[in-house]
C-alpha cells in the first residue's frame, strides 16, 4: 500500500511540474544585468528547456503576426503528418485560390501538383503565401477549416492571446497573436518535431527553377542560430522569431513591430546575446545513467536504476551556477514488474533551501516478475518492510 500511495503522489507531482510557458524566471534566478532596451513594439526572450521568460516587454499584447503565423501553419501540418492523416509524399493540387494569393510566393502554378514536403519548404524557407494556402486546403479542405484547426491546436498548446483566420498570416482584424504565444508555438515545434525543425535552418530553397534565400539574416551571421521565421506587413511592421543553441542551452527570441528588416535582425541578436551572456546551462543528469538504485520486490532483479532518457540541463545565472543542487525523491522499495521509462522518482532542483522545479525520473531498465519461489520469499519480506 505504501508503494502504491507513493506512485499516486509521484504522478500528481509530475502533473504539477510540467512546463508552464507563461511563467517568469523565479526571482531568485534573475540576473543582475538589466535587459536591453529595444525599439520593437513587443518582445520576449524565452529559455527553451524551462519555458521561463528571461526578459520581455508587452509579450502578451495582441499583435498582427504577419508571416509568423506560418509557424503555426507548419506545426499543424507536422501534427497531421504525425497523426497519419497526410504524408510528405502526398501530391497537392494547386487551386486557383492558392495560386492567386498575393505577397511572398513560392511560385507554384495553378492546376499542377506539388508534394507536401516541397510546399513545407516553400512556406518555411521562402515564406510562400501560395504554398501555405495550398497546404491548408490539402489538410482541411479549405483555408477556413484549416484556420479552425490552427485554433484547436493553439488551445492544446495553451495559447492565451491568439486567433488565426488564415494560413499565410495575411492582415485580418481577427487574425492575431502575441510575442509569447509565437514563442510557445516555436518551442513546441522544436520539442515535438526536431527532425522537421531543421528545415528552418536552410538558407535557400529552389522550386520551379527559382531560388529564393531565407529572409532570416541571422542564419548567415550567427552559426548558433538555426531558425526561425520572419514576418512583415505594412500594418504589422518587421517581425522575427529567432532561436539559437549554444553549449546545450537554447533560447528563443521574438520581436514584433520593428521599423526595418535590419532592425528586427539586430534586436533578436541583442536578445540572444543578452541571454547567453547572463545565463548558463547546468547539466543535471546524463542520459541513461542511474542516479539512484531502488530495491525491487517480486522481480527477476533485486534493484532498478532511475534516470533520464535525454541529457537534462537547467539554466542559472552565471554568478549562481555553482549553487544549483539536486535532490532525489524516491520510494525505499518497489514491486515488479517495472517497464523501461516508468516514472518512479523525482529530481528536485534546489538553490539553497528553495526548490526551483522538479523533473520525473524513470526506470532505465525493465524488471520482470521473479519466479514463484522468489515472489514467495519477497512476499514474506514485505511484511517487515
Separation in Å, CA 312 to CA 49, 289, 292: 9, 11, 15
Separation in Å, CA 218 to CA 62, 97, 281, 295: 25, 33, 22, 51
DSSP string, 116-127: HHHHHHHHHTT-
Measured CA to CA, the distance from residue 206 to residue 125 in angstroms comes to 10
Active site residue 67: yes
Measured CA to CA, the distance from residue 311 to residue 67 in angstroms comes to 34
Measured CA to CA, the distance from residue 22 to residue 50 in angstroms comes to 11
Angle, helices 116-124/70-82, rounded to nearest 10 degrees: 150
Of 70, 79, 266, 280, the catalytic one is 70
Of 56, 95, 104, 127, the catalytic one is 127
Residue 33 CB neighbour total at 10 angstroms: 14
Contact predicate 334/295, CB 8 Å:
yes
Of 67, 95, 177, 243, the catalytic one is 67
Q: In what order do the strands lie in the sheet with 249-258?
A: 53-57, 42-47, 249-258, 237-246, 225-233
Active site residue 104: no
- Backbone phi and psi for residue 270, each to the nearest 5 degrees, phi listed first: -60, -45
Cell output for 29: 534566478
Active site residue 371: no
* Catalytic residue ranges: 67, 70, 127
Amino acid at each position: 500500500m505504501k508503494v502504491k500511495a507513493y506512485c499516486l503522489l509521484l504522478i500528481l507531482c509530475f502533473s504539477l511540474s510540467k512546463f508552464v510557458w507563461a511563467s517568469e524566471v523565479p526571482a531568485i534566478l534573475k540576473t543582475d544585468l538589466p535587459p536591453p532596451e529595444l525599439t520593437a513594439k513587443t518582445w520576449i526572450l524565452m529559455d527553451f528547456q524551462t519555458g521561463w521568460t528571461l526578459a520581455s516587454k508587452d509579450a502578451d499584447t495582441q499583435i498582427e503576426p504577419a508571416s509568423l503565423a506560418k509557424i503555426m501553419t507548419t506545426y499543424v501540418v507536422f501534427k497531421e503528418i504525425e497523426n497519419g492523416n497526410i504524408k510528405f509524399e502526398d501530391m497537392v493540387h494547386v487551386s486557383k485560390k492558392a495560386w492567386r494569393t498575393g505577397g511572398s510566393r513560392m511560385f507554384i502554378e495553378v492546376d499542377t501538383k506539388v508534394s507536401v514536403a516541397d510546399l513545407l519548404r516553400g512556406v518555411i524557407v521562402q515564406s510562400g503565401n501560395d504554398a501555405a494556402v495550398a497546404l491548408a486546403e490539402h489538410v482541411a479542405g479549405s483555408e477556413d477549416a484549416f484556420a479552425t484547426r490552427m485554433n484547436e491546436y493553439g488551445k492544446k498548446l495553451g495559447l492565451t492571446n491568439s486567433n488565426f483566420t488564415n494560413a499565410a498570416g495575411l492582415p485580418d482584424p481577427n487574425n492575431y497573436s502575441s510575442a509569447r504565444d509565437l514563442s510557445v508555438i516555436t518551442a513546441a515545434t522544436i520539442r515535438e518535431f526536431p527532425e522537421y525543425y531543421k528545415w528552418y535552418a536552410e538558407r535557400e530553397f529552389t522550386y520551379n527553377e527559382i531560388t529564393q534565400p531565407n529572409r532570416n539574416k541571422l542564419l548567415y551571421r550567427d552559426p548558433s542560430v538555426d531558425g526561425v521565421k520572419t514576418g512583415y506587413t505594412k500594418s504589422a511592421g518587421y517581425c522575427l522569431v529567432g532561436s539559437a543553441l549554444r553549449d546545450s542551452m537554447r533560447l528563443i527570441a521574438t520581436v514584433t513591430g520593428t521599423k526595418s528588416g535590419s532592425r528586427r535582425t539586430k534586436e533578436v541578436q541583442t536578445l540572444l546575446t543578452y541571454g547567453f551572456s547572463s545565463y548558463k546551462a547546468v547539466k543535471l543528469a546524463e542520459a541513461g545513467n542511474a542516479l539512484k538504485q531502488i530495491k525491487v520486490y517480486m522481480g527477476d532483479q533485486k534493484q532498478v536504476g532511475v534516470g533520464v532518457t535525454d541529457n537534462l540541463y537547467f539554466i542559472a545565472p552565471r554568478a549562481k551556477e555553482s549553487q544549483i543542487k539536486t535532490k532525489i525523491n524516491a520510494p525505499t522499495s518497489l514491486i515488479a514488474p517495472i517497464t523501461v521509462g516508468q516514472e518512479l522518482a523525482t529530481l528536485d532542483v534546489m538553490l539553497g533551501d528553495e526548490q526551483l522545479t522538479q523533473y520525473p525520473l524513470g526506470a532505465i531498465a525493465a524488471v520482470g516478475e521473479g519466479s514463484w519461489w522468489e515472489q514467495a520469499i519477497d512476499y514474506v519480506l514485505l511484511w517487515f518492510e
